């Protein structure tokens, strides 16, 4: 019943205001139906008596170890460790368990971070606080999680062989934490899926460069029918958005209707396309170095 932050907050506000009448919503409907709390006033409101107030306060004190008239919603703030010190249900309060943690890796297995140098095995990663990346000159932002565990299967351009690689986020590794990490890094290089959405993500994130499959790699994958034509077809908004950029690689991709996943280009030649500093993307864009 009172098992989520929103419903607890609804009741807490009514108790602290000593409300005698509340607008009927899902929380109050359930409390009325299951606990007999309040008296219905038509179909839109609920009248609360002194006894109702006492019962609601007792429920929260018993089930959550929280007195709404003393601490309000303070007990449900902070992370789970903090909430566990003041309430029986530390899961109530929202947020994810690792909302300050990012996933990083490197080809060598060695990472120089803010607090020191750390190692991980080949095919492994490290989960670290987001601010451990602050002060780094560059990171490579990886779009797909599987790639993080298979870095050694890719033919990386020489320019990125020795820089930390950062997973862009998922429900477990939050985009919020990644944003915090990137805020303290000088330059971000992007490695997305080679499709309209991947390019759009790269440009909107203001990446300084992008890792793309070489023309030969694109030809091989398309020729083997291992590309993703349905992905290209569904990415309508990204295709329209990219139409304004006079970037050779983007225009070629749009013209040829190409969409290729990161996983498809493992072990095949890649290139890095550098963003020209200070140049309007709408006029010039990226220039390719073509190194493997």
Residue for token digits 């902070």? 78
Q: What is the pLDDT of residues 31-73, one digit of tens each?
A: 999 999 999 999 899 999 999 999 999 988 888 777 778 866 6
φ, ψ at 4 (rounded to 5°): -150, 160
Determine what percent of the chain is predicted with pLDDT higher than 70. 83
- Average pLDDT over the chain reads 86
DSSP 266: T
Rg of the Cα atoms in the chain: 26
pLDDT score of 272 more than 50: yes
Task: Tell which wins on pLDDT, 65 or 125.
Answer: 125
φ, ψ at 27 (rounded to 5°): -65, -50
Q: What is the pLDDT of residues 141-188, one digit of tens each?
A: 999 999 999 999 999 999 999 999 999 987 667 788 999 999 999 999
Sheet with strand 126-129: strands edge to edge: 126-129, 101-105, 165-167, 138-142, 187-191, 209-213, 270-275, 286-288
pLDDT score of 4 more than 90: no
- Report the pLDDT averaged over residues 7-30: 90
Those residues whose C-beta lies under 8 Å from the C-beta of residue 27, and which sit 6 or more positions away, are: 2, 6, 7, 10, 11
d(CA 77, CA 71): 11
């Amino acid at each position: 019943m009172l098992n989520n932050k929103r419903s607890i907050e609804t009741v807490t506000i009514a108790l602290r205001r000593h409300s005698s009448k509340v607008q009927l919503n899902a929380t109050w409907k359930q409390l009325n139906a299951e606990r007999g709390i309040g008296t219905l006033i038509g179909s839109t409101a609920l009248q609360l008596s002194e006894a109702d107030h006492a019962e609601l306060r007792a429920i929260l004190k018993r089930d959550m170890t929280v007195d709404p008239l003393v601490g309000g919603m303070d007990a449900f703030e902070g992370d789970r460790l903090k909430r566990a010190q003041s309430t029986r249900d530390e899961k109530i309060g929202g947020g994810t368990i690792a909302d300050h943690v990012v996933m990083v890796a490197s080809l060598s297995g060695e990472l120089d971070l803010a607090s020191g140098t750390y190692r991980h095995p080949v095919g492994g990663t490290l989960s670290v606080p987001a601010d451990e990346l602050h002060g780094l000159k560059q990171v490579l932002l990886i779009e797909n999680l599987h790639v993080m565990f298979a870095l050694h299967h890719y033919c990386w351009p020489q320019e990125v062989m020795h820089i930390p690689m950062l997973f862009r986020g998922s429900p477990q590794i939050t985009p919020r934490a990644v944003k915090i990490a990137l805020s303290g890094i000088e330059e971000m290089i992007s490695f997305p899926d080679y499709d309209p959405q991947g390019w759009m993500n790269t440009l909107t994130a203001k990446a300084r460069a992008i890792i793309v499959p070489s023309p030969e790699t694109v030809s091989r994958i398309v020729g083997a029918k291992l590309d993703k034509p349905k992905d290209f077809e569904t990415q309508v908004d990204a295709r329209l958005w990219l139409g304004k950029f006079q970037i050779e690689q983007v225009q070629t991709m749009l013209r040829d209707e190409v969409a290729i996943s990161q996983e498809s280009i493992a072990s095949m030649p890649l290139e890095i396309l550098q963003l020209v500093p200070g140049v309007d993307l709408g006029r010039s864009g990226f220039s390719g170095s073509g190194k493997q």
